[in-house]
Amino acid sequence: MTSNLKTFLAYLPLISASYAYGPDKQSPKFSLAVQTDLMAYTTKGGYSLWATARHNQNQLSLSFVNYPNRDNSFYKESGLKENDRFLRIGLSRYWGKKKMKNFFYGVNVEFHWRELLEDGSNEIIKDTYWQFAPIVGYDWFPLKNKENQLKNFSTMLWAGPRFHPNYYKQDRVFENTGSVYPIPDFINASFGINLSYTFLKK
């Protein structure tokens, strides 16, 4: 099977999911929010910026994440450094039932620009690659009963398995020194704790 076909098959669920999102005419609402994922700040120099648009039960999010040196255990051993930046597009849908209305499910697709820097060498390896993650999450408005702007703050917890469709080709070798950057696993955990502020509601 060619890698293109394999990548297409890997993204098939996402394509299917996109078509599954239809407007819910029962509760027409529209909102815009800005968010940041606190997990990005767990590494030095890390940050994330999110913008989300929600219409009825459907939500589209766009984010940019700078996440350097995530795998500390490996970097300590090898001396390699990683600067990983990625753009993430998320499609999610909130559950329709009243008791479950803060729960959502969806898919995140990430496009990564990664730089690997060898210890004690000028050699830099630049990579681009895709990942995707089906996710479930919970949107919590702890201050929703406040009468001031604090009611617009929420915390969004989400998690899911993240797939690396062409993972077996990501193994990289520094040709000057022979150091190897190990491939990520085919599936690893993807999760976030987003702090959100909704600035527009209609």
Does the protein bind other proteins through residue 25 (CB under 8 A)? no
Nearer to other proteins, 33 or 137 (CB): 137
Provide, rounded to whole angstroms, the least separation between the CB of residue 169 and other proteins. 7
**Is the backbone of residue 142 left (phi > 0), alpha (psi -120 to 50) or beta?**
alpha
Q: Which of residues 33-62 bind other proteins (CB under 8 A)?
A: none
CA 124 to chain centre: 25
Distance CA 132, CA 127 (A): 17
- From the list 201, 200, 198, 157, the residue with the least C-alpha distance to 34 is 198
HSE on the CB side for 97, CA within 13 Å?
2
Does the protein bind other proteins through residue 186 (CB under 8 A)? yes
Q: Which of 182, 189, 200, 201 binds other proteins (CB under 8 A)?
A: 182
Nearer to other proteins, 12 or 200 (CB): 12
Distance CA 158, CA 190 (A): 8
Tell me, residue by residue from 76 to 115, as one string, x for binding to other proteins by CB under 8 A and - for no binding: -xxx------------------------------------
Tokens of 137: 């999450």
Q: Which of 125, 136, 159, 193 binds other proteins (CB under 8 A)?
A: 125
**Contact window for other proteins (CB under 8 A) among 15-23, 33-41, 61-69, 81-89:** 15-23
Cα–Cα distances (Å) from 158 to 115, 126, 139, 193, in that order, read 27, 29, 9, 7
User: Footprint of other proteins on this chain (CB under 8 A)?
Assistant: 1, 6, 9-10, 12-13, 16-17, 20, 74, 77-79, 125, 134, 167-169, 171-186
